[in-house]
Structure formats: C-alpha cells, structure tokens
Amino acid sequence: MSGGPVGVVFRREFAAYVRSPMGYVVATVVLLLDGLLFYAQALGPAAGERLSGMVLAGFFFNASGLTAVAAVALSVRLVAEERQTGTQLLLDTSPVHDWQIVLGKFLSSLAFLTAITVATIYMPLLILVNGKVSLGHIAVGYAGLTLLGASVLAVGLFASALTRHQLVAAALGSAITGTLFLFWPVASITSPPLSGFFAALALHGRHFAGFQAGLLHLRDMFYYVGLTCFFLYAATKVMEAKRWE
C-alpha cells in the first residue's frame, strides 16, 4: 500500500483492528465456529457417509455465513465510530477526498477479514489427509468467500456512513445484508419473471453456489464486484452529503 491518502487511511484503520479487542473477538469467534462446524462435517459420526467434495462444499457453505456476519461486525464501526468520537471532523478538514477515505477504510477491513479467512485454510487441507479434493476447488471457494466478504463489508460501510451510532449501523447493515440473503428463498416461492429478478439480486444462493462447488463463473464475479462498487459509491455520496451538514 503506497504512502498516498488511501494508504494512510488504510494503515490507520488496519492498526485500529489490530489494537482493538473487537478485531480479535471477531477472529476468535469465526475461527472457533468454523472449526466446530468443520469437525462435525469432516470428523463427526456421519463423516464416513460424505464424499470429500461434499465435505469441502459444506465447509464453504458454513464459512460463507460466518464471513458475512464477521464482515458486518468489522465494517459498521468504520465511519460511525469516527463521528461518535469526534475524529470525523479531522478527516473532513484534511486534504483527503471522501472516496479516498471510503476506499482506505474498505481495503483495511477487507485485508483484516481476508487474514481471518486465510487462517482457516488448514481445514480444507485436512481433507487431503484421508480424502481427495481439487486444489482448484479450494482456491475458487476462497475466492468466493473473499468476494462475498467484500460485498458485505461495502454494505456495512454504507450503513456506517448513514449514522453516528454503531448499534444503529449494525442494525442497518444486518437488515440490508439479511434482505439480500432472503432474496434467494423468495425467488423459490415466486413465479417468473419475479423469481428470476430476486434470484439475480440474491447475495447467496445462485451466486455463491458455483464458488461452493468449485466452479468459477464470470457472472457471479461481476455480481459481487458490482454490488461492492455500488455500496462503496453510495457510502461516498453519503459522506459527501454529510460533510456539508
């Protein structure tokens, strides 16, 4: 990361994650639950009935939900905390553009979330001890977790930009993320063309299923990248509007 404004914001925010108990609490909870769920699938009583590919797909399915929860928890403090502590004024009066602040904060949270995600890599690799899975499947699955996490981080950052209260930001971020998740089951109970519309907007379901199975589709990549860019743009516009309040 360069020494420009984005790099300065990135280093400041990443250091805040490293110094704060919140970052370690999120990392500990995610790693613990991922480990317990993986143990239940790979080493539990019914493990012998599952193929290695099924165990790996199940791991990515469970990890995707935990990644989304972690992303909300890590992102809602990014702007709301600045307003709560009064440090937002320093940013507003500094020669830094709002998009640079948003991008630096987003990249710092993405780097921290990616570090947590990568720390789980030993779990899929354990399958190789007694089973056989494709390294490509593992790589595609982790790419999907990263893209999903980036999308939810952008949603949480947008929610954080809307309010100065972290609990309100958490509620808003959770509501938006939950709604995007619910589009998939809604698609299954509606008729065309609404079913196709809801399925296309769903954060999980159709768009994560390919990554979960080790299949890389450009359609799904474009969806997550597009969703991330949309909410980062929205967060930037909210910060620009609030700068002049």
**Which contiguous run of DSSP H or E holds residue 86?**
none
Distance of alpha carbon 160 from alpha carbon 179, whole angstroms: 17
Query: If you ran DSSP here, which 8-state letter would residue 48 be given?
Result: G
Distance of alpha carbon 228 from alpha carbon 107, whole angstroms: 12
In which domain, by residue range, is 62 found?
Answer: 5-243
Number of domains in the chain: 1
The residue to which tokens 């296309």 are assigned: 200
Cβ neighbour number for residue 186 with a 10 Å cutoff: 17
Tens-level pLDDT at each residue, the chain (245 residues): 556 888 888 988 898 888 888 889 999 999 999 988 888 876 655 555 556 778 888 899 999 999 999 999 999 888 777 666 656 555 555 667 888 889 999 999 999 999 999 999 988 888 877 777 888 999 999 999 999 999 999 999 999 888 888 888 889 999 999 999 999 889 888 888 888 888 888 898 889 999 998 898 999 999 999 999 999 999 999 888 876 65
